[in-house]
C-alpha cells in the first residue's frame, strides 16, 4: 500500500485582526439630529392640520380640501415616523439578543 502523508501548512493560519475605530461624534450626532428634525417636522404638520381643521370648523375657511390634504399629510408623516420607530426598536431588540 502507498503511504498517505499529511502535509502541514507551511504557515499558520492568521486570524485577521478586528479593527474597531471610534466613530466620530458627527456621524452619531447626524442620526440623532436627523431624527429630531423628523419628529419636529411631523409635529409641525400635525399642528398645521389642526389649525386648518379649526379654520374650517369656525367658518374662517370654506375649503375642505385644504383641511383634508393637511390631515392626510400629517397622518402619512406620522405613519412613516412610527415605521421608523418600529425598525429602530426591532434593530435594538435584535442586538440585545446577540450573544457575546
Computed over every residue of the chain, the mean pLDDT equals: 83
Average pLDDT over residues 58-74: 93
Q: Is the pLDDT of residue 52 over 70?
A: yes
Q: Which of these, 72, 74, 73, lies nearest to 46 by C-alpha position?
A: 74
Instruction: Map residue 66 onto helix, strand or coil.
Output: helix
Average pLDDT over residues 50-60: 94
Angstrom CA distances, 9 to 12, 15, 45, 66, stand at: 6, 15, 66, 75
Instruction: Map residue 79 onto helix, strand or coil.
Output: helix
- Supply the pLDDT for residue 20: 52
Q: Is the pLDDT of residue 7 over 60?
A: no
pTM of the entire structure? Answer: 0.65
Amino acid at each position: 500500500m502507498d503511504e498517505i502523508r499529511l502535509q502541514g501548512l507551511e504557515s499558520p493560519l492568521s486570524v485577521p485582526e478586528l479593527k474597531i475605530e471610534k466613530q466620530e461624534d458627527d456621524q452619531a450626532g447626524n442620526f440623532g439630529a436627523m431624527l429630531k428634525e423628523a419628529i419636529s417636522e411631523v409635529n409641525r404638520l400635525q399642528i398645521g392640520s389642526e389649525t386648518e381643521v379649526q379654520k374650517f370648523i369656525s367658518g374662517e375657511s370654506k375649503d375642505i380640501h385644504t383641511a383634508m390634504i393637511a390631515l392626510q399629510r400629517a397622518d402619512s408623516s406620522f405613519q412613516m415616523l412610527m415605521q421608523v420607530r418600529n425598525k429602530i426598536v426591532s434593530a435594538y431588540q435584535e442586538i440585545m439578543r446577540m450573544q457575546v
